[in-house]
Structure 1
Amino acid sequence: MPAKEVSLLPPIRNDEITLVFQGEAHPCLERNVARSRAVLPGVKIVVSTLDVGGGSLKRFDLDVDFIVSDDPGALPPYKKGKRAPVNNVNRQIATSRAGLARVKSRYAVKIRTDCELSSRAFVDIYSRVAERVPNPNRLLTSSIYTLHPDGIEAFPFHLSDWFFFGPTELLRTYYDVPFMTGEDAVWFNAERPHTKGSNYFARRYCARFSPEQYLTIEFAKKIGGYVTPSFLNDSSERIKSEYQRFLSKECIVCEPDDLGLRFDKYAHASRSNYQFFNCVWGSDWEKMRERFEEVVAASKTSRELLTPSRPGPDAGRRRAAVRAMRRIDLILPLLGTAGLMPLVGDVLGFYRKLEGLTSDA
């Protein structure tokens, strides 16, 4: 096998990075900005939020570039249920796009206003990966809510939108997408039902795609060369293979704690047995990337690159857990109504412990 070409990326300095805090002006914003600045001295900071009316917007006493955009409005809830949150994907697009437009540095972070950085570990991770892969221009993102192609929910092309780091122009491309339409926001209805065999988690959705999926799919279509889903749980073997290729070639996926990302609101997600079998962990991503590079090195035609990559050593145990979830699919709505869904997590935790599985497996 010929020697692999690698990138010689120079060290990334703090003054080459801009943090774009995007979203609602939470009470914790001032603290999050201060703590993030403390671990990244010299970094530039942009806060991009919305004018939602009613005089509720608070301008903090911060040494930042503070941007207030017009509110494009919320879309209807993307899931069913009385407590389902409204769909804020267009608000995220508007504020992220406005914030990134102000960035002048080579690299940028897009981070939620209710998150903070506890270290610059994400820079070191990005640099280490860039030194050993052919394409260093990648999006570094959180493992939590970057969904696995063989995971429980099985929603392909679903990157976590908590945090992104990478070249500024690449982040701008990611968010330079059209707003989600009203039709896509209420795609599934009596006239357009979910496909036969859709699992419980897909059947809860009204929107054609989750907010995270919508952004990832639009980005994948823009950079070209990827076959993307037509709806939320469009997960044929071809599309799953394309998703793995996308993750391997365009992304870096890592656990929030390893990135230095703190998100207190969802701290429990990193400990969730459900999410363990649902998300792409750093070790999963490394295996995907290695298998993809093996296929690229061995392939003689472009068609070979589109065949499903062979499963990793832990794929069988993940798929066994997912098959078990599918067997109880019809009773999951009853468990949810009765408030017994935590029992599912307990059973998954027992299986995980029995098999000795960890996120580093």
Structure 2
Amino acid sequence: MSDFSDISVVVQGPVQSFQDREQEPGITQKCLESVRRHLPGSTLILSTWPGQELAGLDFDRLVISDDPGSNVRFFGRDGAPHRFNNNRQIVSTREGLKEVTTKYAVKLRSDNYLTGNNFVALQRAYPKRTSTHCFLKERVVVSNVFTRQYAKGFRVPFHLSDFFYFGLTEDLKALWDLALFDDAQDPIRDSEDTLFTDYPPDCTQMFWIKALRKFDSSLSINGLLDRSPLKMNQSDLCFANNLIIASPPELGLGLCQKFLGTARISRTKGQCAQWQHWEWQEIYRRYCDPDFPKAPASVKANLFLKRLVHVHPVKLETLFKLHKIRRISESGSIK
């Protein structure tokens, strides 16, 4: 395929370092140039903030949104507010997608870039679906970077990356036309001990759950490790029926330097905690297409051994920490 005129790419985020977020010099220019190279004919939309230096950048449309600022999701055990850029991500993505008029769209962070266009063919490679938890019109292709199978040694539900999305524009709009997160107000009522059963949910879990609840309001989590059999099954069904999960090389996605080299997510420990494409294929086979080929036993064994070394030993550490936190919390309540 040499013409991608039915695709728009929303590059969202800061162009340079912005507020408390560092940005690799020149990465947004590299991002925009990569779209021109790998998706010729596509429409390129840059969605960013006021005051960014735009000279020399190549795009078709520019969206400038007022900065909503960081949001306070909860207060720590020391009473300090924990701030995140969740609302900034929602605004820059949502407002950029509003400008899309093509059938398909890409959501691409301004600090990542394309190395190919494999994701286009990948999106059409898995046609079968089941009726249960089938919310989107077509599958959306996402990156496995930060799409975690495991966190703190345990399998976790709904842990979907926010790095990269490709699919029908109406599906991406459904996933990112989200209300902003309200700020936590009270250090007691909105503390992490009061709000969550274990650890606070990851931001990526919150985005995905917030979107899914538009289709099924019963879906929820109350902590990073809120992993009952029901919720794990719901999570797998949502992944199998609405997404395709693949690694950056399989997609044609490049990452900025802070996610490479010795970064935690690039080390073996981080990579083997993520969903692998063949693992997604396994749940696709389980729920959608029983005739789809199984992954080779050698591939399964290799990942099992890596997780045995790098992932599962963390369970004991997590259980000890949670026990300690509960004891401290209970002693504080008694006082």
Return the TM-score normalized by structure 2.
0.76
Whether 1:57 and 2:52 are equivalent positions in the alignment is yes
Q: Indicate whether 1:21 and 2:39 are aligned.
A: no
Does the alignment pair 1:277 with 2:276?
Answer: no
Task: Check if 1:324 corresponds to 2:316.
Answer: no
Match of 2:330 in 1: none
Pick the aligned partner of 1:127 from 121, 124, 127.
124
Q: Is the 8 A contact 1:145 1:279 kept in 2?
A: yes
- CA distance in 2 between partners of 1:20 and 1:229 (Å): 29
1:182 is aligned to 183
Partner residue, 2:173 = 172
Aligned to 2:68: 72
1:157 aligns with 2:149: no
1:108 aligns with 2:75: no
Partner SS, residue 148 of structure 2: coil
Q: Could you tell me how far apart the structure 2 residues matched to 1:150 and 1:115 are? A: 24
Counterpart residue type for residue 219 of structure 1: A
Contact 2:5 2:42 (8 Å CA) reproduced: yes
Question: Deviation at 1:21?
Answer: 0.2
Structure 1 letter corresponding to 2:6:
E
CA distance in 2, matches of 1:85, 1:47: 29
Q: Contact 1:157 / 1:228 at 8 angstroms: preserved in 2?
A: no
Change (3 A) 1:67 1:124: same
Query: Deviation of residue 63 (structure 1)?
Result: 3.5
Change (3 A) 1:183 1:233: farther
Q: How much has 1:133 moved relative to structure 2?
A: 5.0
Cα distance in 2 for residues equivalent to 1:328 and 1:233:
14
User: For the structure 1 residues 100 and 184, does the alpha-carbon distance in structure 2 shift closer, same or farther, using more than 3 Å as the test?
Assistant: farther
Say if 1:107 and 1:167, in contact at 8 Å, map to a contact too: yes
Instruction: Tell me, yes or no, if the aligned pair for 1:78 and 1:210 is still in contact at 8 Å.
Output: no
1:97 aligns with 2:94: yes
**2:190 & 2:279 partners in 1: Cα distance?**
32
- Residues 5-58 of structure 1: per-residue CA shift (max 9 Å, x gap): xxxxxx79400000100001134212220122112111110000123xxxx421
Amino acid at match of 1:252: I
Query: Aligned-pair distance for 1:261?
Result: 0.4
Q: Are the structure 2 counterparts of residues 12 and 101 from structure 1 closer, same or farther at C-alpha, using a change threshold of 3 Å?
A: farther
1:236 aligns with 2:190: no
* Secondary structure in 1 matching 2:107: strand
Deviations 1:260-317 (A, max 9, x none): 1001231246642222332111011011111112689xxxxxxxxxxxxxxx965965
> d(CA) in 2 for partners of 1:319 and 1:118?
29
Partner residue in 2 for 1:8: none
Paired amino acid for 2:241: K
CA offsets per residue over residues 202-233 of structure 1, 9 Å max, x none?
3xxxxx43221111001111122763313332
- Identity rate of aligned residues, in percent? 23
Contact 2:74/2:190 (8 A) holds in 1: no
Q: 1:12 to 1:102 in 2, by over 3 A?
A: farther
Counterpart residue identity of residue 267, structure 1: L
Letter in 2 for 1:16: D
Structure 2: gaps (5+ residues) = 17-25, 292-298, 323-335
> Unpaired segments of 5 or more residues in structure 1?
1-10, 203-207, 297-311, 334-361
CA contact (8 A) 1:228 1:242 kept: no
Per the alignment, residue 192 of structure 1 pairs with 194
Deviation of residue 189 (structure 1)?
A: 2.4
C-alpha RMSD of the superposition: 3.5
Indicate the residue corresponding to 1:139 in structure 2.
Answer: 140
- Opposite residue 144 of structure 1, the aligned amino acid is V
Find the counterpart in structure 2 of residue 341 from structure 1. Answer: none
2: distance between equivalents of 1:243 and 1:255?
A: 19
Is the contact made by 1:149 and 1:240 (CA closer than 8 Å) also made in structure 2?
A: no
Which amino acid in structure 1 is aligned with residue 5 of structure 2? Answer: D
Q: Are residues 28 and 264 of structure 1, via their aligned partners in 2, closer, same or farther at CA, if it must alter by over 3 Å?
A: closer
Equivalent residues of 1:103, 1:168 under 8 A apart:
yes
Is 2:75–2:191's contact at 8 Å kept on the other side of the alignment? no
Question: Does 2:238 match 1:246?
Answer: yes
Amino acid paired to 1:35? S
- Relative distance call for 1:286 and 1:226 in structure 2 (3 A) is farther
- Measured at CA, do residues 46 and 287 of structure 1 come closer, stay the same or move farther in structure 2, by a change above 3 Å? same
CA distance 1:328–1:233, shift in 2 (3 Å): closer
Q: In the aligned structure 2, how far is the partner of 1:158 from the partner of 1:224?
A: 17
Q: Which has the higher helix share?
A: 1
Q: Distance in 2 between matches of 1:115 and 1:21?
A: 9
